Chains A and B, each alone.
Chain A
Amino acid sequence: MINDFNYLRPGTLKEALAMYEEHDDCKVICGGQSLLIVMRQGMIAPENLLDIKRIKELDYIKFDKKEGLRIGATTTHRSIEKSDVVKKNYPVLVSMENKLASIQVRNWGTIGGNIAHADPAGDPAPVLIALKANIKVGSAKGDRTMPLEDFFVDYFETVLTKGELVLEIQVPPPEPKTGAAYQKFNLLESDMGVVAAAASVTLDGNGKCKDARIVLGNAGATPRRVKRAEELLVGKALKESLFAEAGKIASEDCEPVADIHASEEHRRHLLGVLTKRMLKQAWEQAKA
């Protein structure tokens, strides 16, 4: 049962940041799709709840060819999924959102909430990190921006300090000859991933690999890049045997934890398979 709490509903971002600064033991709620589950299970019982759902200032999707994509923190998953500019420029985000829980959840859940919740099984983070996204956070004292991969600290833990909110996700403009793909392994369509892998591949004029990113989901405490495998690919003419090798590295360079859904061994195996497959998919897109 959910505990009693003080409900704070700021009207503006400024008000929100001031309130957040002021209140101790305060959790931010927006779509509530992650928070309410842990509150209902009694895992957390905050004294104060700061509801930023109605802060329209943070609900936007902006795209600019030079600047790239900017998504406000309170933008729902459904808005991202349905956005034409996202679909055109970052189709991998749409296909990821498509399988993020149910339509009902996507209608409420927000990108900022998902990222701030820092569940290593969350879908957006691996994809966004593969796309080299940054995150902007801010408090009453000021803003700061950092690569998204530096945002996560541990299970459900981020670099956010007291009074700091997630404000914006920034994705650089898509590079030419680039492909990106994401897949999670689960038994139910749209369920949380047992494990997941995102990959992006950029080719140079000669068709060789100019850049590659491999990011694993639920393979440790935070979304993690497989840098050893990325290095393996860069500068090479890509082929399937290299993807298999990268997959093997991915299955080694991870720290998945066994639970009732899969053993550690099975998770490592799946991470290898997904990495191999996503690299191939990304490569094929990049070639096209």
Chain B
Amino acid sequence: MNKYTVINPHSEFKVINTHVHNIDGIAKVTGRATYTFDVKLPNMLYGKILRSPHPHAKILKIDYSRAMELPGVMGVVTGKEDTLGIKQGIWRRYQDLCDEQVLPVDKVRYIGEPVAAVAAITEEIAEKALDYIDVEYEVLPAVYEPLDAIKKEAPEIHEGFERNINVTRHIEWGDVEAAFEEADYIREDWFKCGGQAHMCMETRAAVSSYTPDGKLTIYHSNQSPYYMQGLMAGVLGMREGDIRVISTYVGGGFGGKFELDGAIFCSAVLSRKLFRPVKIVFTREEDFIATKRRTPMFYYVRTGVKKDGTFCAREAKVFTNGGAYTGMGATALYLTGFFHSFPYRWKAYRYDGYRVYTNTLPSTSMRGFGAPQAMFCSEQQIEWIAADLGLDPIDMRRKNSHHEGYEVPGQATIASCGIDQCYDEIRKWINSKGKLPANRAIGISACGFMSGGIFNWFDTPYSFSSAVVTINQDGTVELYVGAQEIGQGSNTTLAIICAETLGVKIEDIKVHSGDTDHCPPDLGAWGSRQTLMAGNAVKMAAEDAKKQLLEFAYAQSGYNIVYDLDIKDRWVHAIARPERGYDYGELVKKAIRGKDGQKIVGRGYYTPHRKGMISPAYSYMLQGVEVEVDEETGKIKLVDSMTAHDCGQPINHLGLIGQLEGAFSMAAGYGYLEYMPYEDGKLMNPNLVDYKMIRATEMPPANIAEIDTYEPEGPYGAKEAGEGLTNPTAAAIGNALFHRFGIQMKECPIRPEMILNALKEKKEKEKEKKGKK
């Protein structure tokens, strides 16, 4: 059985942290929720994309005349003939990082890259038509690994990027050399971290409808309708306001759905050419080979500590496999370096990151945003250091951890931090286990994560989050947010904040999201930003509306102005005299009459100011796993797990549990299962038979202890949950193997063969040692 403990739950709340079911739940379980996949418009055509079979090639000629002869084919588009050839990217403030045309004009850089798109009256005809498009390529030499691509003689993937280095990032504080001088013990290691597919249940999908009045409506599965609107306006040469993006229900994102994909771009270009709605839904294989993935990384880590375990200095050098385009890779490159220092106080720290172009699937953000890789390396090395020094690994971590008020030099100030209690909780869990069977061991790992990014590489002129609350005459509430529900439960979380703030019930709130025409702009669902940023905007909007109500209430009450009025649970009352009050519905009717019949409208917004370089707030957590290993076969089984977690004030109790369990399973998959092998630029397992993910039977109990802290910048004290927990688990699995066998796993996912090889190597070394003696 899973255990869920909330330590010292706040009790004054009526809605927050209570048992609220997902407000989209009924629509989803009854099949009424309309995903992009379900959208069908009159006169709609179906699109398919022709993809490059070459990892690197010039497009010399595309002849689609034979395809056009096929009955039912309505049109074909190519980069050269039908697009402006604009190089775009989500880092649109930085022109050199806008490097992807989606439908390239003259060169392809990875297998699976779109080359042409066709629209036909059925999906079958569209697919068949792909065989009748003749493309002449000039195949170019290709390179697949970052350490090969930075060599002088490597082929040039993008013009003007010397040694294929796409982005570099540098983070440094303190005197690194001097701090290493102070260390009694220095250890260095190289690690290799794999990629990972986002694997959303809903593959990329879009229905674009361009009408002769010059307006474009796009139904699209994404994490940020506002970004899609902005990016599409850029590539099509249109005004943002002439484009409407609708994403009412989205079947998962995980960091892979806030850049332009082939589905949205090609469907829009086809629709504009043909003046008919065009639908493109990716197959699972397309989702594997032609979207983006978690960034594979080579990590060099050098760490210096004192004999007593005090951390002195760390330096890291990272080479990431960027694949063919930038995507969100530049942010992942920075964040991996930043979170590699977490959650510890380093006297001096230096990070150099190099993102290298290769002729493979582009890499980008994915749940954890560079931190899972960082933690796989950091948290294992720390465990090995503790062992080398004969120190308790929990005590050593605790001694060096962040605390409230700590400043990460030049980067961040930690306003709330519950990691100390997390250590206690994880220790308690380990102790409760007693002596483990011989084939089992426990590994732990610590980390922290951000609550939304401060950076504005998208160059938005809008607030990062906005919300509008309107109250109807019957007391029901319309909450308009640009925050995007992608299955993570943000609509529910924001409804809870709205209901709590206004003093109404959860069923009074109707959330409107996922529509750029009707919802205020918001950067969307990525970087764990919505609970804090959109949450603050919603709280402010609800407070604004409530204030307008209470003004009327006050005017009527006749109370001395020293009294405070409030609404809780639909009960309007003086706080000092809660028993004497009246129904909120009554107040709403009066207030609307008093406003000459206008609805009550509250507005709220949030943009972080003076909160450092990265994020306004940080969550902290410890992950423990109990791992069973078959020494003869190398098979790993997760037997039990424990998460000690500080996300400030939990808002959405059930949502939080779901998010933590989901993050844990994804993290465990990254640790020992999910594996993306390439051969000559071709992904070898683009299907769910060969790409292994945790299933229900592999999922161990996910025990959770939620630490009670209060984050001053978060709404009601809340901060990140659900992304950060993707970070620690791979290292925790590695640490369990270290404790059981003394082997050091420097590559993830940790596969059975690697375990057996490590055991063999260890035996041989021991033999050698004995021989010498």
Contact = CB atoms under 8 A, between A and B. Distances in A.
Nearest to A3: B124
Contact of A266 (B636, B673, B695, B752): B752
B675 interface: yes
Nearest to B677: A260
B632 A273 contact: yes
A261 B673 CA distance: 10
Name the residue in B632, B633, B673, B684 with the highest tally of chain A Cβ atoms < 10 Å from its Cβ: B633
Contacts of A191: 692
A260 B683 CA distance: 10
A1 interface: yes
A41 B695 CA distance: 23
A132 B672 CA distance: 38
A1 B692 contact: no
Given A1-B127, A260-B675, A270 B633 contact: yes
B695 A189 contact: yes
A231 B127 CA distance: 55
Given A192-B689, A270-B633, A187 B673 contact: yes
B400 interface: no
A188 to B, nearest CB: 6
Interface in B686-732: 687, 689-690, 692, 694-695, 697-698
A171 B603 CA distance: 75
Interface string A155-174: 00000000000000000000
Nearest to B695: A188
A36 interface: no
Contacts of B690: 260-261
Nearest to A266: B753
A1 B685 contact: no
A273 B631 CA distance: 11
Contacts of A189: 695, 697-698
B24 interface: no
Interface residues of A, number: 20
B635 interface: yes
Interface string B652-686: 00000000000000000000110101000000110
A273 B753 contact: no
Contacts of B677: 260
Given A185-B635, A189-B698, A37 B673 contact: no
Interface in A249-274: 259-263, 266, 269-270, 273
Secondary structure at the A interface, as helix, strand, loop or mixed, is: loop
Contacts of B148: none
Q: Is the interface of B mostly helix, strand, loop or mixed?
A: loop
B756 A269 contact: yes
B632 A37 contact: no
A190 B685 contact: no
Most A CB contacts (10 A, CB to CB) among B635, B694, B753 go to: B753
B202 interface: no
Contact of B689 (A37, A262, A266): A37
A246 to B, nearest CB: 15
Nearest to A265: B753
Contacts of A263: 753
Interface in B600-641: 632-633, 635-636
Interface string B732-773: 000000000000000000001100100000000000000000
Contacts of B687: 41
A185 B694 CA distance: 16
Contacts of B698: 188-189
B105 to A, nearest CB: 29
B49 to A, nearest CB: 13
Nearest to B691: A260
A194 B685 CA distance: 15
A188 B677 CA distance: 18
B685 A260 contact: yes
B123 interface: yes
B124 A190 contact: no
Contact of B697 (A188, A262, A266, A273): A188
A185 B692 contact: no
Contact of B684 (A4, A260, A273): A260
Nearest to A191: B692
Contacts of B689: 37, 192
Contacts of A41: 687
Interface string B165-188: 000000000000000000000000
Interface in B241-263: none
A1 B632 CA distance: 42
Contact of B753 (A37, A192, A262): A262
Contacts of A259: 684
A187 B752 contact: yes
Contact of B635 (A4, A37, A187): A187
Contacts of B694: 188
A37 B284 CA distance: 13
A266 B124 contact: no
A247 B636 CA distance: 22
B692 A188 contact: yes
A185 B633 contact: yes
A37 B752 CA distance: 27
Contacts of B695: 188-190
B123 A1 contact: yes
Contacts of B684: 259-260
Nearest to B634: A266
Nearest to B126: A1
Interface string B117-152: 000000110010000000000000000000000000
Interface in A6-21: none
A260 B689 CA distance: 12
Contacts of B697: 188-190
A37 B687 CA distance: 11
Contacts of B672: 187
Interface string A187-214: 1111110000000000000000000000
Contacts of B635: 185, 187
Nearest to A99: B697
Contacts of A192: 689
A262 B675 CA distance: 12
Interface string A221-247: 000000000000000000000000000
A251 to B, nearest CB: 12
B132 to A, nearest CB: 16
A98 B489 CA distance: 35
A192 B685 CA distance: 15
Given A260-B675, A263-B753, A266-B752, A187 B124 contact: no
Contacts of A4: 124
B119 to A, nearest CB: 16
B53 to A, nearest CB: 15
A19 to B, nearest CB: 26
B688 to A, nearest CB: 10
A149 B128 CA distance: 41
Contacts of B752: 187, 262, 266
A189 B692 CA distance: 11
B753 A1 contact: no
A270 B635 CA distance: 11
Interface string B431-469: 000000000000000000000000000000000000000
A105 B639 CA distance: 26
Nearest to A262: B753
B131 to A, nearest CB: 11
A125 B492 CA distance: 50
B449 to A, nearest CB: 28
Interface in B54-113: none
14 contacts: A1-B124, A1-B127, A37-B689, A185-B633, A185-B635, A187-B635, A187-B692, A188-B694, A189-B697, A260-B675, A262-B752, A270-B633, A273-B632, A273-B633
The 3 closest A-B pairs by CB, nearest first: A189-B697, A266-B753, A260-B677
Given A4-B124, A188-B673, A188-B694, 14 more contacts: A41-B687, A185-B633, A188-B692, A189-B695, A189-B697, A189-B698, A190-B695, A191-B692, A192-B689, A260-B677, A260-B685, A262-B753, A266-B752, A269-B756
